[in-house]
Chain A
Amino acid sequence: MALKYIDEFRDGELARAVLQRLKTRCRDLGPMRFMEICGTHTVSIFRSGLRDLLPPNVELISGPGCPVCVTANGDIDRAIWFAGRPDVIVTTFGDLLRVPGSRSSLLQERGNGADVRMVYASFDAVQIAKENPDKQVVFIGIGFETTAPTVAAAVQMAARDGVDNFSVFSAHKVLPPVMEALLESENLLLDGFLCPGHVTTVIGAKAYQAVAERYRLSCVVTGFEPLDILQGLTLLVEQRAEGKPSVEIQYRRGVTWEGNPTAQKLMAEIFEPADAVWRGLGKIPGSGLALRPQWARFDAARRFDLPPMEGKEDPACRCGDVLRGALRPPQCPLFRKVCTPQNPKGPCMVSSEGTCGAYYRYFRES
């Protein structure tokens, strides 16, 4: 596999030229606030040191776009409940292991003897199920529309290969409904969204059309390299200058208006929209994905008769405000003092793409 074309999008000289143009464009405009929804954007912005270089009237707010961070306490508690069943192997993506639930984390439970395994792909979980026919393998499905199709494919694979000891606990989330929920919340004044390139390769830029029209808001689908982000911001600023908010694609090398029909079809075949609880944001109608009734036998919640659980949130933790863009991490009383990546109180600190984690790692207080 060749992975090139990275350097081109990190070219220093070119970036400085684009930045200069952005500054010139911003000169006669008032203050502007843009939200990057996706954690990968947040990290890229920090890693390239972009924030310090932006014109003073451009403010970037980090949104809720880290799927690990938005996983509610209740869902972590449920994952832990599965891990506590006899003869169950819980599999999931790495970052989730450390996320604290109401009382414990999967990592802590693993230390106490639960069989919890980290996988890089959902197919690996099916493989583990094949290798352990006398155990039940539960995959904790988290992530946005980028990962959901792969989990759907894993369910299909399990069905095709007759892997009856594999099931999925779906804590998947979808993006457009949460964007609307954010815009409905008070005090969030935004001029536009820097929309995530990866998710949009699947759902297509058309997914933002309704939001853009209803709220008269710019949505620019943007790639993740520093030059992508600079160009995405330039497009947002230009839309603002012209007073014509719309959906635009900066990340043309990956994203189309329609998205990936195969992935969409796969997702729609296995999953249906469901209400979901987001950490800090509460229940958002239609923002989650549940297995369709015809795939119920692969639904871990049904297979194990999961009891109802109300997650308990730590009252001192301000992750909810951070996820809404209402609070910058250094303004949280726990940040750096009580809450650190080694001892995270909230999910924004746990994930490598969490806003607080990114601030902790990369932000240089001057």
Chain B
Amino acid sequence: MKERTITLDHGSGGRATHELVREVFARAFDNAFLGQMNDSAVLQVPAGRIAMSTDSYVVDPVVFPGGNIGSLAVHGTINDLAMSGARPLYLTAGFVLEEGLSLALLEEIVEAMARAARDAQVAVVAGDTKVVPKGKADKIFINTAGVGVVPEGLELGGQYARPGDVVLINGTIGDHGMAILCTREGIAMEGEIQSDSAALHDLVAELLEACPQVRVLRDPTRGGVATTLNEIARQSEVGIRLFEEALPIRDDVAGACELLGLDPLYVANEGKVLAIVPRSVAEKALDVLRGHPLGRDARLIGEVTDRDPGRVVLCTRIGGHRLLDMLRGEQLPRIC
């Protein structure tokens, strides 16, 4: 039997489009808002401040160990909301499909997306689908946008790091980027490197509940931990020192990085949060993180200082120092 694929008809706005929306998207994302089938979803929002974010996903390969482009598109936008302390409420999803995409693959991706949204208790309330001729896109591109509600009185931001604070991370570094790269390049490590793609809002909520003193939350996606900390160092006009010996890096990730000449500190993560907190609450924050399934390997990896403002310096294992600059150029193409 010939495999069913996406054709240009599916993007025509006509009958095929309606069938695709009904059979694939509406069925998977099933909720009252989407069920209205109007031009826009009308939503109930609580009083207070709203956080809003959007991101487009073009990852290649579209399926990788630990997830696919669909689950990633949900986790990524939820995490962007969570980093401002918001409780995510609603997502939208826009799809650009390449003519010839396997329908079974599309269903797999959409189902993973729906599952990720359900697990995170977030509704996908609006969507859009376009089909482009073969070669004009690479299988499938997804855009998600999301809104969430920010608790009263909470003020997080990259500009709030202060000398004396410490840098925490909820687990191992570089897993997502290396999972993608090893899949793409057919590099077989012992076992398989799994992407860390996960929704962090629950972990973040627990952390903020226990430690409202948290100053900065950031998810080190593209550009990795080094680039994200550089952004914070610049925004807050402080220096950041990272301790090489304290960095949690899986053996297989370190090995694959070594093999390809990459630095895990610049490799993307999709289920990690960098938290900058006053030293006085560091222990408590680590306890909370470690008590959550997504934070078992949480560590204190650095400190904020008034030396070298705007810069990140790595204190190496052998007692040396080196500058950790922003990512220059492209270390890995298209990993999120």
A residues apposed to B, CB below 8 Å: 1-4, 6, 10-12, 15-16, 19, 46-53, 98, 120, 226-227, 230, 340-342, 352, 360-364
Contacts and interface: CB of A to CB of B under 8 A. Distances in A.
Interface string B303-322: 00000100101111111111
Contacts of A364: 308, 311, 313, 321-323
Contact of A361 (B254, B315, B317, B328): B328
B3 interface: no
Contacts of B185: 120
A99 B185 CA distance: 23
B318 A226 contact: yes
A49 B313 CA distance: 10
A48 B251 contact: no
B255 A341 contact: no
Contacts of B252: 3
B329 A19 contact: no
A341 to B, nearest CB: 4
A3 B314 CA distance: 24
B255 A2 contact: yes
B258 A341 contact: no
B259 to A, nearest CB: 6
B322 A49 contact: yes
Contacts of B258: 3, 6
Most A Cβ at <10 Å: residue of B252, B314, B322: B322
A47 B323 CA distance: 9
B190 interface: yes
Interface residues of B, number: 32
B317 A341 contact: no
A48 B329 contact: no
A211 to B, nearest CB: 28
A352 B319 CA distance: 23
B210 interface: no
6 contacts: A1-B255, A3-B251, A11-B317, A15-B318, A52-B320, A226-B316
B42 interface: no
B23 interface: no
B270 to A, nearest CB: 23
Contact of B319 (A15, A227, A342): A15
B317 A48 contact: yes
A361 B320 CA distance: 15
Contacts of B260: 120
B255 A3 contact: yes
Contacts, number: 88
Nearest to B251: A4
Contact of A19 (B251, B263, B318, B321): B318
Nearest to A49: B320
Nearest to A46: B322
Nearest to B308: A364
A3 B316 CA distance: 21
Given A341-B329, A364-B321, A47 B316 contact: yes
Contacts of A15: 317-319
B329 A16 contact: no
B329 A6 contact: no
A53 B318 contact: yes
Contacts of B263: 47
Nearest to A344: B329
A251 to B, nearest CB: 16
B325 interface: yes
A12 B320 CA distance: 10
Contact of A49 (B251, B316, B329): B316
Given A342-B329, A361-B328, A362-B323, A48 B316 contact: yes
Give the 5 A-B CB pairs with smallest separation, nearest first. Answer: A49-B320, A3-B255, A15-B318, A341-B328, A12-B317
A171 to B, nearest CB: 20
B174 to A, nearest CB: 14
Contacts of B315: 49
B78 interface: no
Given A341-B328, A342-B328, A361-B325, A3 B256 contact: yes
Nearest to A358: B322
B321 A6 contact: no
B14 interface: no
A230 B187 CA distance: 32
